[in-house]
């Protein structure tokens, strides 16, 4: 059930990317307007993810999961019936509430699963969250070709409605684990600075990075963030505990999430464009939307498959080794993709390596975050981690757009050099992720008992089996 919920949300993130051009034609609008179909979803998800995670800690994770899936289903229904681009954008805002499925699912796993199965379940769910973005791009073409673009929303609507019903019936009612109130002022400030920063980042290439609007959004967002942090230190019941955010197991995973999101979103967003480029440009494969998606399938499958092995690797080697190794593998994959991309087998090989590396990273991070915080902070901590990945992804897409668009030939197509530089930038981001991962606590398994609220930020949590403590 949790897998269905997470898959629905992550697929909706990316299924519209390959068909934005078709949506512009169908709704008789321009590319700048239709880009809001993606931007509005990311903005809504960025706000909903940490807030719904916190609400789950306050009123119960099962209850909020049902509400979140219901909102995702309603948003999908509205999108499927959308008569205009404005309606579709509004529907995507409602769909963005689905961002809460990630922290809520992680929290339910910690609360309800036997301790021995927690790490394995977290790894599989987290890897599905990563692979869903790529799978969405893969299946979008065949769905549109055979059923029409409206079915990009009809299918998730049906699946999430069934998932919401099943979650109501079969997932045990969660007890509240946090303070029984949601601080309003910190919540408003958090939403304000997230929207301002993400809106500025996502629209910088369209509106101009030096435009008054973008500069105002970025400066205003930073100012609101400063006020939010100040207020969180002073309210009796903070929305997000700043002491929690300073724990080594939390801040290191947040940095890694931002860097990996930077690389993953940008690569999946621009690799299809690279593959669809006519070969007359001196590169590219003349691929259709569907064909370019099939190039990404091995990467997605590798990322998901490795999730079944990650828990065992973490128990034997420690999360620090696994995450660092995965980040380095992904960096090598992007570097090879930048320099060697003339043959189809090279694309398949490098993207599969990227899938293995990013799968190792994503399927390990949730366990590190959850092992580093007490149970009543599970939802908000994992929600912020997922949210930071979204912020990194938006920034990565914006940077990649700036690099590629900045290298356009006389034919109007991006030059090969633009893609080369772009993928090298993504490789650099993954090296930063590896550097941050090297500072992680080398967690080997979930703790036996709940961490106390004053647990030090650099606490090392290892398996109860003494044989594993030597790692």
State the distance between the two ends of the chain, measured CA to CA, in whole angstroms: 35
SS3 217: helix
Residue 388 lies in a domain: yes
Same domain membership, residue 230 and residue 252: no
Measured between alpha carbons, how far is 443 from 364 in angstroms, rounded to an integer? 10
Measured between alpha carbons, how far is 281 from 275 in angstroms, rounded to an integer? 11
Residue linked to tokens 């309606």: 87
> How does DSSP classify residue 467?
G
- Choose among 340, 187, 268, 264: nearest CA to 16: 268
- Choose among 314, 301, 308: nearest CA to 353: 301
Measured between alpha carbons, how far is 163 from 61 in angstroms, rounded to an integer? 15
Measured between alpha carbons, how far is 459 from 471 in angstroms, rounded to an integer? 15
Contact by Cβ (8 Å): 115, 291:
no
pLDDT of residue 381: 83
Residue 49 lies in a domain: yes
Partner residues linked to 408 by β-bridges: 414
pLDDT of residue 102: 81
Same domain membership, residue 427 and residue 309: yes
Q: For the range 156-160, what are the long-range contacts, defined as Cβ-Cβ under 8 Å and sequence gap of 24 or more?
A: 156/8, 156/11, 156/12, 156/72, 156/73, 156/76, 157/73, 157/76, 157/77, 157/80, 159/4, 159/8, 160/4, 160/5, 160/8, 160/69, 160/70, 160/72, 160/73, 160/76, 160/98
Residue 201 lies in a domain: yes
Measured between alpha carbons, how far is 394 from 20 in angstroms, rounded to an integer? 17
Residue range(s) defining the domain that contains residue 208: 183-237
pLDDT of residue 426: 95
What does the buried/exposed string (b/e) look like for 434-469 if buried means 16 or more CB atoms within 10 Å of the residue's CB?
Answer: bebbeebbbbbbbbeeebeeebebebbbbbeeeeee
Residue 454 lies in a domain: yes
Same domain membership, residue 201 and residue 59: no
Same domain membership, residue 223 and residue 137: no
pLDDT of residue 356: 94
Q: Which of 191, 211, 237 is the last residue of a domain?
A: 237
Q: Using only C-alpha atoms, what is the Rg of the chain? A: 21
pLDDT of residue 273: 82
pLDDT of residue 332: 97
Same domain membership, residue 261 and residue 229: no
Across the chain, which has 471 residues, the per-10-residue mean pLDDT values are 76 79 84 79 82 81 89 93 94 86 83 78 75 77 86 90 86 64 82 87 82 94 94 85 88 94 85 85 84 84 86 89 96 95 93 93 87 80 83 83 80 86 95 95 61 42 36 35
Torsion of CA 418, 424, 428, 429, to 10 degrees: 60
Q: How many domains does the chain have?
A: 2
229's CB contacts (< 8 A; 6+ apart) are: 242
Burial tier of 233 (Cβ tally within 10 Å: 0-12, 13-18, 19+):
exposed
Q: How many CB atoms lie within 10 A of CB 168?
A: 15
pLDDT of residue 174: 64
Measured between alpha carbons, how far is 200 from 215 in angstroms, rounded to an integer? 8
Token duo for residue 376: 């009543």
> How does DSSP classify residue 414?
B
Same domain membership, residue 431 and residue 313: yes
**Which residue blocks in 280-377 are alpha helix, DSSP H?**
289-317, 319-339, 344-371
pLDDT of residue 269: 77
Contact by Cβ (8 Å): 246, 419:
no
pLDDT of residue 264: 87
Q: Which of 213, 237, 261 is the last residue of a domain?
A: 237
Residue linked to tokens 């499925």: 101
Same domain membership, residue 216 and residue 152: no
Residue 177 lies in a domain: no
CATH number at residue 284: 1.20.1250.20
Same domain membership, residue 136 and residue 13: yes
pLDDT of residue 361: 93
pLDDT of residue 336: 96
Measured between alpha carbons, how far is 292 from 288 in angstroms, rounded to an integer? 6
Residue 178 lies in a domain: no
Phi/psi of residue 414, each to 5°?
-60, 145
pLDDT of residue 217: 94
Same domain membership, residue 243 and residue 229: no
Residue 121 lies in a domain: yes
pTM of the model: 0.79
Measured between alpha carbons, how far is 96 from 89 in angstroms, rounded to an integer? 11
Same domain membership, residue 214 and residue 362: no
Same domain membership, residue 420 and residue 455: yes
437's CB contacts (< 8 A; 6+ apart) are: 252, 256, 320, 323, 324, 327, 361
Same domain membership, residue 193 and residue 155: no
Residue 120 lies in a domain: yes
Measured between alpha carbons, how far is 321 from 330 in angstroms, rounded to an integer? 14
């Amino acid at each position: 059930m949790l897998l269905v919920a997470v898959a629905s949300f992550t697929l909706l993130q990316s299924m519209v990317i390959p068909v934005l051009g078709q949506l512009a034609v169908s709704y008789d609008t321009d590319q700048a307007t239709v880009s809001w179909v993606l931007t509005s979803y990311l903005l809504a998800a960025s706000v909903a993810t940490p807030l719904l995670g916190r609400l789950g800690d306050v009123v119960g994770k099962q209850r909020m999961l049902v509400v979140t899936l219901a909102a995702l289903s309603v948003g999908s229904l509205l999108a499927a019936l959308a008569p205009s681009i404005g309606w579709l954008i509004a529907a995507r805002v409602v769909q963005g509430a689905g961002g809460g499925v990630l922290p809520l699912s992680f929290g339910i796993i910690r609360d309800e699963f036997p301790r021995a199965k927690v790490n394995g379940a977290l790894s599989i769910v987290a890897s599905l969250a990563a692979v869903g973005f790529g799978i969405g791009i893969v299946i979008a073409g065949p769905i549109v070709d055979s059923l029409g673009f409206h079915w990009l929303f009809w299918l998730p609507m049906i699946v999430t409605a069934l998932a919401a019903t099943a979650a109501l019936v079969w997932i045990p009612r969660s007890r509240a684990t946090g303070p029984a109130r949601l601080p309003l002022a910190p919540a408003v400030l958090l939403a304000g600075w997230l929207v301002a920063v993400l809106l500025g980042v996502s629209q910088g290439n369209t509106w101009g990075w030096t435009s008054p609007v973008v500069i105002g959004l970025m400066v205003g967002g930073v100012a609101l963030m400063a006020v939010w942090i100040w207020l969180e230190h002073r309210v009796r019941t903070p929305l997000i505990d700043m002491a929690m955010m300073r724990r080594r197991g939390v801040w290191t995973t947040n940095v890694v999430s931002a860097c990996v999101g930077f690389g993953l979103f940008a690569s999946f967003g621009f690799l299809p464009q690279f593959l669809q480029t006519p070969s007359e440009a001196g590169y590219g494969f003349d691929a259709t939307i569907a064909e370019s998606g099939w190039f990404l399938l091995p990467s997605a499958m590798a990322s998901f498959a490795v999730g079944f092995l990650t828990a065992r690797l973490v128990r034997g080697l420690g999360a620090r080794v696994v995450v660092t190794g995965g980040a380095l593998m992904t960096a090598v994959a992007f570097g090879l993709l930048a320099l060697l991309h003339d043959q189809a087998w090279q694309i398949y090989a490098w993207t599969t390596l990227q899938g293995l590396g990013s799968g190792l990273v994503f399927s390990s991070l949730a366990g590190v975050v959850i092992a580093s915080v007490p149970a009543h902070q599970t939802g908000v901590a994992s929600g912020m981690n997922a949210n930071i990945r979204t912020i990194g992804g938006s920034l990565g897409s914006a940077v990649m757009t700036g690099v590629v668009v900045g290298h356009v030939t006389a034919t109007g197509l991006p030059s090969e050099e633009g893609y080369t530089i772009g993928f090298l930038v993504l490789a650099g981001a993954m090296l930063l992720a590896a550097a941050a991962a090297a500072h992680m606590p080398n967690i080997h398994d979930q703790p036996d008992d709940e961490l106390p609220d004053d647990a030090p930020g650099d606490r090392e949590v290892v398996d109860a089996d003494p044989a594993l403590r030597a790692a």
